[in-house]
């Protein structure tokens, strides 16, 4: 058995300059923009969500701009299989997570559990 839950949202921005994009979304959502460590910081900026406990990032991408969600889990392989049974399909493995596509066409990621409240809020799957 494994657990999973909504981790948060990633705001994909087709841009060559991440800083103004992150500043726009931080201001629009009323969230502070935080730098991430080298290696991540060139592609991602974290938005601090103190109200909802979601993980929200602005990401520099080469594909058209969109928003996607992340599902966090304590067993990526089991969660990917569960979602495939529901009709999702695997698109690409990136580092340690899977990019997937819902039957309705939206892309989302299945990522390793990292939120502080994961154990308390996650749904247990058989």
pLDDT digits (tens, 9 = 90+) for 69-95: 999 999 999 999 999 999 999 999 999
Residue 59 has pLDDT above 90, yes or no: yes
pLDDT of residue 121: 83
List of E strands, 1-126: 2-14, 33-35, 44-47, 55-61, 66-73, 89-94, 97-101, 107-112, 123-125
Q: pLDDT of 110-123, one tens digit each?
A: 999 988 888 888 88
Residue 104 has pLDDT above 90, yes or no: no
pTM beyond 0.75? yes
Angle in degrees, CA 81, 2, 120, rounded to 5: 135
| Domains along the sequence of the chain with CATH | 2-114 (3.10.180.10)
Mean pLDDT, rounded, for 55-82: 95
List of E strands, 15-73: 33-35, 44-47, 55-61, 66-73
């Amino acid at each position: 058995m494994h657990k999973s839950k909504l981790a948060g949202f990633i705001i994909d921005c087709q841009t060559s300059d991440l800083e103004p994009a992150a500043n726009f979304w931080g201001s629009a959502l009323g969230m502070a923009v935080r730098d991430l460590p080298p290696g991540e910081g060139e592609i991602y900026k974290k938005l601090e969500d103190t109200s909802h406990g979601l993980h929200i990032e602005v990401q520099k991408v080469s594909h058209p701009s969109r928003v996607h969600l992340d599902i966090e889990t304590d067993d990526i392989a089991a969660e990917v299989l569960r979602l495939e049974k529901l009709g999702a399909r695997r698109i690409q493995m990136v580092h340690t997570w899977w990019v997937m596509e819902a039957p309705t066409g939206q892309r989302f990621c299945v990522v390793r559990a990292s939120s502080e409240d994961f154990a308390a809020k996650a749904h247990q799957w058989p």
